[in-house]
Amino acid sequence: METDIHEEIIIADPTPLQETWFHLKKNKAAMVGLGIITIFVLMAIFAPLISPYDPNAQVIDDRKTPMFTDGYIFGTDDLGRDMLSRLIYGARISMTIGVVSVGISLVFGILIGVTSAYFGGLYDKIVMRLIDIMLAFPYILLTIVIVSLLGPSLLNAMIAIGISQIPRYARVVRASVLAEKEADYVLAERALGARDTELMFLTILPNCLSPTIVQATLGVGEAILSSAGLSFLGLGAQPPTPEWGLMIASSKEFITNAWWIVTLPGIAILLAVLGFNLFGDGLRDILDPKMRN
């Protein structure tokens, strides 16, 4: 015999994504962060269209032009290159650094974190010890070692930063998975016949993404800073790449007589990292307590 069909009227709830957005909009700081990020991302994408000049074009006569002079909004550097154009293309590079580095850390961090939490045992113990060792290394030292092995270049700097952050992501993911894997719904899907791979990546992982996403957002800011640091040491981007950190490094001596050459890239780094931090913090506030329903 058929049971009654219940026609309860349920207010159409928003999807989890819409709900996150709704809460996010209320956080002013996070919205500011998002705004800053959007500006940089757009700069990165449309760099060729919005740059007034070629970032590598050297105009000897216009060297060290101050800001707002002779058609150079942000002035020129010691080789006569337009600062604004270099900053805009720098945004493209910084965004790429963020994506590539965090991407590497995420992919391997998730793989390691999920598998060690899920399978446990000796594998987990070994992996965790390795991670502990990696985390014990001073971060800068680790990246320097990796770059030295691979050779100094921007791409290798991105890879080095990515690799050195894997342990952190692995830990975050592992902790999340450990908590979720005992949940009833995981057991239920196993009872339906789901295999380990499906359980790990399609069942458990999607429910562990919140802390990982927060980590990744903050990680972009950190990657940009790290890259700047490496460039300063000559291990990252090589001249004439318009990478912000490199721009600062190669113009240290102009701090007194042409301060804008050193300071503007610094401000760019500051704003970019700030944007990601504000947004990441806002995400964390929302994703952690409220989403626990």
Partner 1 sequence: METVKQETLLEIDNLNFSFKTQRGLVRAVRDLSITIKKGETLTLVGESGCGKSVTAHSINQLNPMPPGRVDSGRILFNGTDLLQLKKGEIEKMRGTQISMIFQEPMTALNPVFTVGSQIADVFMTHQGMSKDEAMARAVELFHLVKIPAPERRIHAYPHQLSGGMRQRAMIAMALASPEPGLMIADEPTTALDVTIQAQILDLLGDLKQQVEMSILLITHDMGVVAEMADRVVVMYAGRKVEESDVNSIFNDPRHPYTLGLLNSLPSNPKYKHAKRLEAITGTVPDLLTIGDGCPFANRCAYATDICRSSFPSMSEINKDHSVWCHNHESVKREKAQ
Partner 2 sequence: MSNPLVEVKDLKKYFHIKNEGATETVSLLKAVDGVSFDVFEGEILGIVGESGCGKSTLGKTVLNLYEPTAGEVLYRSRSVYAKNTQELKEQTKNMQMIFQDPYSSLNPRKKVAKIIGQSLDIHSIGTSQERSERIEHLMQEVGLNPLFRGRYPHQFSGGQRQRIGIARALALQPEFVVCDEAVSALDVSVQAQILNLLLDLQEKHNLTYMFIAHDLAVVEFISTRILVMYLGRVVEIARKEDLVARHVHPYTKALFIASPITSPDQRKGEKHIFQGDVPSPINPPTGCHFHPRCPYAIEQCRKEYPPMKEVAPGHFAACWVV
Site for partner 1, rule CB under 8 A: 4, 6, 8-11, 22
Nearest alpha carbon to residue 279 among 19, 18, 29, 41: 29
Q: How far is the CB of 100 from partner 2 (least distance, A)?
A: 28
Q: How far is the CB of 26 from partner 2 (least distance, A)?
A: 20
58, 81 contact by CB (below 8 A): yes
Q: Does residue number 289 form part of the binding site for partner 2 (CB under 8 A)? A: no
Interactions with partner 2, residue window 156-195 (CB under 8 A)? 183-185, 187-195
Partner touching 138 among partner 2, partner 1, none, CB below 5 to 8 Å by kind = none
CA–CA separation, 8 and 89 (whole Å):
56
In the shown chain, the binding pattern of residues 227 to 266 toward partner 2, with x for contact by CB under 8 A and - for none, equals ----------------------------------------
Q: Does residue number 61 form part of the binding site for partner 2 (CB under 8 A)? A: no
Q: Does residue number 4 form part of the binding site for partner 2 (CB under 8 A)? A: yes
Cα angle for residues 47, 53, 59 (degrees, 5° grid): 145
Q: Between 1 and 60, whose beta carbon lies closer to partner 2? A: 1
Tell me the number of residues near partner 2 by CB under 8 A. 29
Q: Does residue number 213 form part of the binding site for partner 2 (CB under 8 A)? A: no
Q: Between 96 and 207, whose beta carbon lies closer to partner 2? A: 207
Residue 72 β-bridge partners: 69
CA–CA separation, 80 and 58 (whole Å):
5
Partner touching 185 among partner 2, partner 1, none, CB below 5 to 8 Å by kind = partner 2
Partner touching 184 among partner 2, partner 1, none, CB below 5 to 8 Å by kind = partner 2
Q: Does residue number 198 form part of the binding site for partner 2 (CB under 8 A)? A: yes
Q: How far is the CB of 191 from partner 2 (least distance, A)?
A: 5
Q: How far is the CB of 293 from partner 1 (least distance, A)?
A: 12
Distance of CA 155 to the CA centre of its chain: 15
Q: Between 122 and 191, whose beta carbon lies closer to partner 2? A: 191
3-state secondary structure of 237: coil
3-state secondary structure of 128: helix
Element housing 68 (H / E) = none
Cα angle for residues 173, 176, 181 (degrees, 5° grid): 115
Q: Does residue number 17 form part of the binding site for partner 2 (CB under 8 A)? A: no
CA–CA separation, 261 and 76 (whole Å):
7
Partner touching 22 among partner 2, partner 1, none, CB below 5 to 8 Å by kind = partner 1
Nearest alpha carbon to residue 110 among 176, 195, 169, 167: 169
Measure CA of the first residue to CA of the last residue in the chain; give whole Å. Answer: 35
245, 227 contact by CB (below 8 A): yes
Name the site residues for partner 2 (rule: CB under 8 A). 1-8, 10, 13, 15-16, 183-185, 187-195, 198, 203, 206-207, 293
